[in-house]
Chains A and B, each alone.
Chain A
């Protein structure tokens, strides 16, 4: 069981079973790690904003770097109109980042390696962006599916293609994060298993791979959180500034 590379993704219950109206709402290891990352974010940001010094301390510096990073990303990709959505994108980025990074610790559980978690976030973003688009532009938002300068007899076909392309957004958003996290962690476990089974003689090569992969995985963990947030910004940009 310990050598099964998929064992690390198993969700199991911690504490008593809680069932409300036939739905299992028990506290699991997934909930524990979501709670842990949310707590970690709160602690870091609380420590960072507690003393507002002119010359920042370590925690204030971390908080300021995160703030500047997201603020710059939003203004670069979605423009000044997207400023009201800063809190949402900031929390989204921080949550995904901390879930990914906590998953890199040995014996921990990666929440974002489950498609239900990422799909839920992606569908929420998708619905929110669609609602924002319709609120801002009314039925003019449907122009998104009708590109200008297309011959009239091609229009139905192009519209169907554009709609499929629009509907594929939550899928690509969620599958990307989930697949990257799951594939990376499975690979780490497989190489770890090679180290054990090859022993002292041949285990050094996979051990080296494992070390290199860990570095790569930390990069991927950051990059996927970044991509998740920046794509949200891009979708938001489409909904807010409708002209292309």
Chain B
């Protein structure tokens, strides 16, 4: 059996060291930052794609080719930009 008292003091020393080590926390933030950076591109493209698909479906539904697909392409682009702005806001909130 390991000496628990000895272990507790050792744990405390290690924990204090950990608190002073700012490098570890820094590294962590860097990783999540890169994670959020990776997703901005698809955020924009996917909204355009979804908008266009909705436009296409509505067009075949109402027989109004090609007007709704054009309209929803632009709406999708706006939604994509909105997505990117939201994601960027989220990134800023974290800091």
In the complex with contacts A168-B46, A171-B50, A161-B34 CB distance below 8 A: no
- Give the one of B42, B51, B54, B80 with max A CB within 10 A: B42
Question: Does A155 interact with chain B (Cβ within 8 Å)?
Answer: no
Give min CB distance, B67 to chain A, whole Å: 15
A54, A164, A224, A231: which contacts B75 (Cβ < 8 A)? Answer: A164
Chain B residues near A162 (CB, 8 Å)?
A: 79, 82
Q: Which of A145-189 contact B (CB under 8 A)?
A: 157, 160-162, 164-165, 167-169, 171-172, 175-176, 179-180
B32, B72, B82: which contacts A230 (Cβ < 8 A)? Answer: B32
A55, A161, A224: which contacts B79 (Cβ < 8 A)? Answer: A161
The closest CB in chain A to the CB of B51 belongs to A164
Chain A residues near B75 (CB, 8 Å)?
A: 157, 160-161, 164
Report the separation of the CA atoms of residues A157 and B75 in the bound assembly, to the nearest whole angstrom: 8
Interface string of B64-95 (1 = CB under 8 A from A): 00000000100110111011001000100000
A168→B39 contact, CB < 8 A: no
A165→B38 contact, CB < 8 A: no
Chain A: interface secondary structure? Answer: helix
Q: Which of A179-232 contact B (CB under 8 A)?
A: 179-180, 223-224, 226-227, 230-231
Chain A residues near B43 (CB, 8 Å)?
A: 168, 172
Chain A residues near B42 (CB, 8 Å)?
A: 172, 175-176, 179
B50→A168 contact, CB < 8 A: yes
The closest CB in chain A to the CB of B76 belongs to A164
Give min CB distance, A92 to chain B, whole Å: 15
Chain B residues near A54 (CB, 8 Å)?
A: 2, 4, 7
In the complex with contacts A54-B2, A175-B42, A168-B32 CB distance below 8 A: no
Question: Does A47 interact with chain B (Cβ within 8 Å)?
Answer: no
A interface residues, tally (CB under 8 Å): 24
Interface string of A47-69 (1 = CB under 8 A from B): 00000001100000000000000
Give min CB distance, A106 to chain B, whole Å: 25
Question: Does A234 interact with chain B (Cβ within 8 Å)?
Answer: yes
A165→B90 contact, CB < 8 A: no
A165→B49 contact, CB < 8 A: no
Report the separation of the CA atoms of residues A234 and B31 in the bound assembly, to the nearest whole angstrom: 17
B49→A171 contact, CB < 8 A: yes
A172→B35 contact, CB < 8 A: no
Chain A residues near B90 (CB, 8 Å)?
A: 234
B32→A164 contact, CB < 8 A: no
Give min CB distance, A11 to chain B, whole Å: 24
B2, B38, B39: which contacts A55 (Cβ < 8 A)? Answer: B2
- Please list the residues of chain B having a beta carbon within 8 angstroms of any beta carbon in chain A: 2, 4, 7, 31-32, 34-36, 38-39, 42-43, 45-47, 49-51, 54, 72, 75-76, 78-80, 82-83, 86, 90
Q: Which 8 A-B pairs have the closest CB atoms?
A: A172-B46, A171-B46, A168-B47, A164-B79, A165-B79, A168-B50, A176-B42, A168-B46
